[in-house]
Structure 1
Amino acid sequence: MLPSSTTPNDQHPDAHVPDALARAFLRTLAQDERRKTKLKGDLGLDCDFDQESDDPVERILAQTEGERKTEHIPIPADLAAVAVLVARAIEVEDGLVRRLRREAPVVVITTHLPDLVEPVRDVLERCAFRPGVHAIDLSGNRAVALGAKQAGLLVRDGSHKDHRPDVGNTMVAAALHARVPIVGVAPDPMRQLPRDLLRSAEHRIVLPGLDRSGLDLVIEAVTGGCPTRRIDPDLVRTLDIADLPIAFRGATSPDACIDALVRVTVTKADYLQTGPSLEDLDGYGAAKDWGLALAVDLQAYRVGRLAWADIDNRGLLLSGPPGVGKTSFARALAKSARVPLVATSVAEWNASDYLSGTLQAIRRAFAQARAQAPCILFIDELDGISDRAQIRGEHVQYWTQVVNLFLELLAGVEERPGVVVVAASNHPEKIDPAVKRAGRLDREISIERPDTTSLVKIFRHHLGPNALADASLLPLALAARGKTGADVEAFVRRARGAARRAAREIGLEDILAEIRQGRLAMSEESRRRAAIHEAGHAIAGHSLGYCPIVDLSLHDGGGEAQFEPPVDGAATLPQIEAALAMLLAGRAAEEIEFGEVSIGSALGASSDLAQATALARNIDLQFGLGKLGPYYVDPADSSLYLAHGLVETVAARLRAAYARARTVLETQTPALRAIATELAEAGYLSAKDIDRIMQAHAAPARQAEVRVSALQMGTT
């Protein structure tokens, strides 16, 4: 039970008891609650049963319950928690307890969370000052005459337009003249309290977070007893003060309070819910590498082996199309790092009707993250915060204030130790450039749509380990090429529903039907042609020693060959000409195998022929390696130069590249057919598969190059 001593002072033996001031505050609140309970009883409002009652049911209950023990009067759980935190914050400041009761200090308290401002006011009024001293509200705009038996409280939560530094300074001056204790309370005092109050503050204290020992005190104040079991400290850090009344409602014992808290915190702590960790996710590329490195650093930071200043991965902007799993990444990152996830969005901030509400929502998100640090603060839909350079009309002032506050909070990285900000956007180009500057979200990683290998793993994740356990999921990945992880989840979910309604286990055909949505698979003839076409690309790239192959695949719409980027700033003219041959090798392979070519290599701006034509044109017009010599032509003027004779030059380059590709393939027809056969059967070949087949079937690469050189000499 709480010690029975009275008002704390520095000479009392209780001063040496751990949390002596917190216990004294709780006793004061308990006495207030007991007085309220007695008053209700005197007024006939007490709801406790009466053994002398004439009510038959109450008489039965009185007989079965027996003699009642002295009832413990509980303190409201949220108020008890705030009392503990306020007492601890005051106790850290040497001599502040005495000064608040004997002198006239000026104190500023930072609550971080707006929701704690009013409970802090309540605790200060009832516990902080000497008995008989009346706390006067100084939150108005008019000066208040304070007397000797009074103290001043200036409380602002940031919700009103007058909650800013230039409002209330005259009132502060009058209060200072009275020589009484003055306490200012705000989530962000620098932005919300009067300037002169901050200038005159002798003590600046910050409300700490609730830990296990503080939680034990709260449980004791509510139930009258101490818990025998301890709660996981990671769970305690995810608690909000508002969770306590919910958890303790109906709890009958201290240990029952612990059980209730576990239930409440587990349901809200995303990082403890079922779901994959970052190690289990596929298709995230550089973002996964960044996240795994951060997870290691955060674990070292939590145990004190690494300083916050030494962590370099403190802000990330995730970009990419919808459905690639940006939100899932944040959840998995928090789980891998074993830290809480505080999730919010710009849409949530803008749900308020007024600017003050939007600004308060932004502050609340950062404050909640600070309270749970170390943690991940995830901000979705960041492109909803406008670029100030693009704002026009009547919304300029509104959005400018929103952006400025966000930038200010984002830049204060040292003021939020342990808080890693991860933001997501489908349109990163719409975000204010200042957001991406050094010290803010200075790392941007784009999450691309998953490749075939990643899709196989994503299908397995959503199917689980037991469904289709022995089946190859490659056909699903190939049919879903270009889809996202969110698409895969939807395909599997709908296929499960279809199988359930048909009273059978889920099958590959169920999922394929959801992926294709009535679209027909390729015919055998088209599949064979597509396989030959893609095999031609692979052999040309392999034989010419440029543009390393990544993989080949067939899907319902045709085939695809993935290469490393064929042209970068280090490319030379011979390498570009090899890239041209590789791009045209699919068309050449069709001609060799079938005697004619299809139009598949020329459909659209991203087709093989379109890419090859653009590359051949740029040799002359942009790269300075062609007929014009070292000369750059603006793309807008390209048509003019092409009209004056360069079209034939470009066409000649393409014809030479096509002939080169055909010559290479004619020396490699066994490998061409072997690769096409395996690709048509499997639907997918990796770079290792292609190397294996080439080694087993290919003619010496030197032989092909000799024929190519001879062809080039003949054309010259």
Structure 2
Amino acid sequence: MFVPSHAIAPSISSPPTDEASDQLARAFLQQLAQDERRRLKANHRSNSYALEDDAPLDDGDAVERIVARDEANRTETAHVPVPADLAAVAVMLARAVAAETGLVRRLRREAPVVTLATNVSDLVEPVRIVAEKCLFRSQTKVVDLAVGRTWRELTRRHAALFVCDGIGRDARPEKGNEVIGTALHVRIPIVGIAPDPKRQLPRDLMRSAEHRIALPGLDQAGLALVVEAVVGGLPSRMFDPDLLRMIDISDLPVAFRRTDTPDACLEALERILAAKANFLGDGPALEVLDGYGEAKTWGLAAAADLQAYRAGRLEWAEIDHRGLLLSGPPGVGKTSFARALAKSARVPLVATSVAEWNASDYLSGTLQAIRKVFAQAKSQAPCILFIDELDGISDRAQIRGDHVQYWTQIVNLFLELLSGVDERPGVVVVAATNHPGKIDPAVKRAGRLDREIEIEKPDTTALARIFRHHLGSEILSDASTLPLALAARGMTGADVEAFVRRAKGTARRRDRAVTIDDLLVEIRQGRRPPMEAVRHRVAVHEAGHAVVARAFGHGEVTDLSLYDDGGEVCLESVDDGAATLERLEAALSFLLAGRVAEEIELGAGSIGSGNGAASDLAVATRLARDIELRYGLGRLGNIHLETVPGEMVMIAGLLPAVMERLRRAGERAHAVLVAHRAALQAIAHQLDENSYLSRGEIEVTLSANGLDAVPGIAEFHLDDEEI
């Protein structure tokens, strides 16, 4: 069975004991401790002559001489703590060097050329300090070839570093090759240090490198060594393995500054990491969130895969939920989805955005920001890497002018890091955008973000559950949130959160409990609900759609709604190339059924059926036109003509044919609704009273009123004599 190294559960309650592989790490730590002891002794000597404010001491102050001498003696015998960040870097650097056979000896006896990848820029400076103090013989004079002109005076007694944090505009392979040439000629050890050596160190340094190493992460034994270097003893227990991979070097000095025992170090570090770990914080898991549809299905599968991967039951190569592009309008909860996914999977969330990447003044800074976040995700794997505002990275096909080279480098690096899925096992990438059409097509190719899911605005049922989620179990616990959802139709989960927050504020200022009216006031913002007569007309209209859909077997009605601006029928149907003329005629009758129902029950139809390009009448007219011009099923015969302006009057016979087809569709709808008027009235009455009918409620009412079976359109087909 494949078991990832990060997922191996310890079988003991105390940290691992010393191993031979950590001999070099201990030696590095001893070297740092000696250096720290020398520094403290030097400070004590200087304190014999000056106070902290540099005021001279009285030579006759005998008490101060006793204190200074006592401090010096304690420095010789007591444990001298090594700075926690340097101790951690020393352990990681020692392990990287020890993994290369013979490299320790070569650095002190020969002239090897080595490159060291720190992965993140924050580690460059501490690595430089540790390398300068520990990698070379004590008599060696270490110079940084990237700074000043010291390279002109190199001798065989020197060792050279070339340190680059990857942020400045000089962080590229074209820079520094002259100094590397000089150092190679003198034949001294050269160590290049950078987050991404291939892109940031001089080209000639990379070409001549004999050893290419990278800093590993801290494991249980490594963390124990760091604790011992800081407080002088090994902890008696294991560190939380879920938090171990989340350690940033900068966390260690913060956690250890007020601790004096090994176990207290671990406790403080766990508190700090738990506080910053998104997946351990407040917020719902994906299982309890609503309104995400297909994205939720994908996310739950990904969470299950990551949990299996952590436990060693599944190899990374078997996981197919590795990358997702989420699209949708603002406020639908793309960021909340990522947080909930991380919580369900019980893994860290590494969140970033393209805006953060582009905040740097230079291209090199932007590139380094991208590398850093992928390196962070890799170090915390398994995890979720969430990238917001992905459309901020331009599509290369749309770039013009002076920005081509700039954006091409950014897109290329991003694609390279996305493609390296096997080099970042355990990292699931989720990106979000409001404008999927602006994304470079290469980002969506196989092996990258090869799954795209659009999150739509929540429907009525989902909105009702979202209201309940934000209200909690104590506020309006016995009240239905359905009226709120109907009033908020077309809005997002972010809108719902704002409505609830403002309603709570209103109730708090008035020193009373939140009411439904408080919420409706926030939702409607001065908009009035419809009058009773209008509401009844809309209920009749939507009921007409439901009855004709059932009678002709045209899809399946999932729910009916009344809201402040009108009504809606939600229909599940399949629109594919297998549709026949009969199915298209059923669709036409369904579209016209609302207005026909108004005519039957109220004596006249309203303009609502034809109010706008998305109205029932507009959609029906386009469908009737397509039957004649595109589908080859009309009077013009087997022909396909593209849509052109003015075609209804320019093409001879088209307008009469469309009018006739719509008339016949209306007659068919009329015949159905008259035959099943009891069902029409029952549905309209229930919808008027309740504002919402679910699929089950619709089914029960239709069956109780004689529409249990689905006869199909053939039973209501009319010929010319019937018309």
TM-score, normalisation: structure 1: 0.91
Q: Confirm or deny: 8 A CA contact 2:548 2:593 kept in the other structure.
A: yes
Which residue is 1:139 aligned to? 146
Q: Confirm or deny: 8 A CA contact 2:177 2:203 kept in the other structure.
A: yes
1:441 counterpart SS class: coil
Which residue is 2:719 aligned to? 712
For residues 492-531 of structure 1, the aligned pairs below 5 Å read 492-531=500-539
Which residue is 2:361 aligned to? 353
Counterpart-to-counterpart distance in 1, 2:344 and 2:109: 51
Q: Confirm or deny: 8 A CA contact 2:303 2:345 kept in the other structure.
A: yes
Which residue is 1:37 aligned to? 40
Superposed CA offset, 1:338-368 (max 9, x none) = 1111111111111122222222212221121
1:635 counterpart SS class: coil
Which residue is 2:470 aligned to? 462
Q: Where do 5+ consecutive residues of structure 1 fail to align?
A: 1-13, 61-66
Match of 2:29 among 26, 30, 51: 26
Tell me which of the two structures has the higher relative contact order, counting C-alpha pairs closer than 8 angstroms and 6 or more residues apart: 2
Match of 1:614 among 609, 613, 622: 622
Match of 2:296 among 288, 291, 295: 288
Counterpart-to-counterpart distance in 1, 2:688 and 2:587: 25
Q: Confirm or deny: 8 A CA contact 1:219 1:226 kept in the other structure.
A: yes
Counterpart-to-counterpart distance in 1, 2:242 and 2:366: 30
For residues 435-454 of structure 1, the aligned pairs below 5 Å read 435-454=443-462
For residues 25-424 of structure 1, the aligned pairs below 5 Å read 25-44=28-47, 71-139=78-146, 144=152, 146-424=154-432
Q: 1:358 to 1:494 in 2, by over 3 A?
A: same
Q: Confirm or deny: 8 A CA contact 2:550 2:707 kept in the other structure.
A: no
Q: 1:281 to 1:56 in 2, by over 3 A?
A: farther
Q: Confirm or deny: 8 A CA contact 1:169 1:194 kept in the other structure.
A: yes
1:628 counterpart SS class: coil
1:43 counterpart SS class: helix
Counterpart-to-counterpart distance in 1, 2:18 and 2:488: 69
Counterpart-to-counterpart distance in 2, 1:164 and 1:398: 14
* Larger mean Cα displacement after TM superposition, 250-259 or 276-285: 250-259
1:557 matched to 2:593? The reply is no
Q: Confirm or deny: 8 A CA contact 1:663 1:707 kept in the other structure.
A: no
Superposed CA offset, 1:607-636 (max 9, x none) = 111111111111112222112222121212
Aligned-pair CA distance for 1:640: 6.2
- The number of aligned residues is 694
Q: 1:95 to 1:670 in 2, by over 3 A?
A: same
Q: 1:638 to 1:566 in 2, by over 3 A?
A: farther
Q: One-letter code of the match for 2:209?
A: A
Q: Confirm or deny: 8 A CA contact 1:521 1:556 kept in the other structure.
A: yes
Superposed CA offset, 1:652-673 (max 9, x none) = 1111001101101111111111
2:530 counterpart SS class: coil
Q: One-letter code of the match for 2:139?
A: G
Aligned-pair CA distance for 1:395: 2.8
Aligned-pair CA distance for 1:584: 0.7
Aligned CA RMSD, in angstroms, stands at 2.8
Q: 1:706 to 1:400 in 2, by over 3 A?
A: closer
Q: One-letter code of the match for 2:140?
A: V
Q: 1:398 to 1:528 in 2, by over 3 A?
A: same
Q: Where do 5+ consecutive residues of structure 2 fail to align?
A: 1-16, 68-73
Counterpart-to-counterpart distance in 1, 2:461 and 2:479: 15
* Larger mean Cα displacement after TM superposition, 699-708 or 380-389: 699-708
Q: Confirm or deny: 8 A CA contact 1:321 1:448 kept in the other structure.
A: yes
Q: 1:700 to 1:406 in 2, by over 3 A?
A: closer
Aligned-pair CA distance for 1:240: 1.0
Counterpart-to-counterpart distance in 1, 2:77 and 2:362: 51
Q: 1:578 to 1:95 in 2, by over 3 A?
A: same
Counterpart-to-counterpart distance in 1, 2:720 and 2:709: 19
* Larger mean Cα displacement after TM superposition, 671-680 or 145-154: 145-154
Q: One-letter code of the match for 1:82?
A: V
Q: Confirm or deny: 8 A CA contact 1:546 1:566 kept in the other structure.
A: no
Q: 1:376 to 1:703 in 2, by over 3 A?
A: closer
Q: Confirm or deny: 8 A CA contact 1:567 1:576 kept in the other structure.
A: no
Counterpart-to-counterpart distance in 2, 1:285 and 1:16: 51
1:683 matched to 2:686? The reply is no
Counterpart-to-counterpart distance in 1, 2:475 and 2:640: 59
Counterpart-to-counterpart distance in 2, 1:56 and 1:480: 78
Counterpart-to-counterpart distance in 2, 1:578 and 1:55: 108
Q: 1:563 to 1:700 in 2, by over 3 A?
A: closer
Q: Confirm or deny: 8 A CA contact 2:37 2:76 kept in the other structure.
A: no
Q: One-letter code of the match for 1:335?
A: K
Which residue is 1:667 aligned to? 675
Counterpart-to-counterpart distance in 2, 1:261 and 1:638: 73
2:652 counterpart SS class: helix
Counterpart-to-counterpart distance in 2, 1:124 and 1:648: 87
Q: 1:675 to 1:134 in 2, by over 3 A?
A: same
Q: 1:151 to 1:304 in 2, by over 3 A?
A: farther
Q: 1:72 to 1:599 in 2, by over 3 A?
A: same
Q: 1:53 to 1:298 in 2, by over 3 A?
A: farther
Q: One-letter code of the match for 1:407?
A: L
2:719 counterpart SS class: helix
Q: Confirm or deny: 8 A CA contact 2:107 2:189 kept in the other structure.
A: yes
Q: Confirm or deny: 8 A CA contact 1:251 1:257 kept in the other structure.
A: yes
Q: 1:116 to 1:614 in 2, by over 3 A?
A: same
Q: 1:595 to 1:133 in 2, by over 3 A?
A: same
1:714 counterpart SS class: coil
Q: 1:30 to 1:428 in 2, by over 3 A?
A: same
Aligned-pair CA distance for 1:140: 5.5
Q: Confirm or deny: 8 A CA contact 2:171 2:364 kept in the other structure.
A: no
Aligned-pair CA distance for 1:46: 7.8
Aligned-pair CA distance for 1:700: 6.7
Counterpart-to-counterpart distance in 2, 1:71 and 1:211: 28
Superposed CA offset, 1:510-567 (max 9, x none) = 1111111111112222222111111110111111011221211111111100112463
1:618 counterpart SS class: helix
Aligned-pair CA distance for 1:425: 0.4
Q: Confirm or deny: 8 A CA contact 2:256 2:265 kept in the other structure.
A: yes
Counterpart-to-counterpart distance in 1, 2:708 and 2:108: 95
Q: 1:705 to 1:321 in 2, by over 3 A?
A: closer
Counterpart-to-counterpart distance in 2, 1:390 and 1:118: 39
* Larger mean Cα displacement after TM superposition, 385-394 or 594-603: 385-394
Aligned-pair CA distance for 1:637: 5.2
